[in-house]
Amino acid sequence: MLSITQMKLISILVFSIFILSCRKGPSLSKEEVKSLSQNYIKELCKKNLECSAQYLETLPSGEQSAAKSGFSSLDQCMTEQSNQSILPDDYEKVTDQQIGKVKLCMDDLLKTPCSEMEQAGGIPSCRDLFPDGN
């Protein structure tokens, strides 16, 4: 026969398991998810600027100034992308699998040279973030 203390302990354990199984959302906090999404946009803007600069260097000097006007600064890019989110806006719908895909894409984005990205049509791990082709 179980003592009252043992029964209380079992009740607390069952209740804790129940609470943990009902938890919604990813293992990262809401702030960490928001920060990850913002960091992704920032790294994407940086990479676009890096690749744009390399592209400009390949143009004849007479065409460079005209082409420069079409490129934005990091701040301008960040502003233009401020309403974008790589992860669902609803925190409870964000999964650890999605977070892993974003982290892998960011790592590949930082490592992949612009020339490779151009030849491959982007970064495969980043394309995985947009399975519908969006």
Using one digit for the tens of pLDDT, what is the confidence trace for 33-46?
A: 989 988 999 998 99
Domain locations along the chain: 29-86+96-112
Does pLDDT of 10 surpass 70? Answer: no
In terms of C-beta distances under 8 Å and separation of at least 24 residues, what long-range contacts does 83-86 make, across chains too? 84/41, 85/37, 86/37, 86/40, 86/41, 86/129
pLDDT in tens, 64-96: 777 777 677 888 888 888 777 788 888 888 899
Does pLDDT of 105 surpass 80? Answer: yes
d(CA 27, CA 22): 13
Q: pTM score, two decimals?
A: 0.71
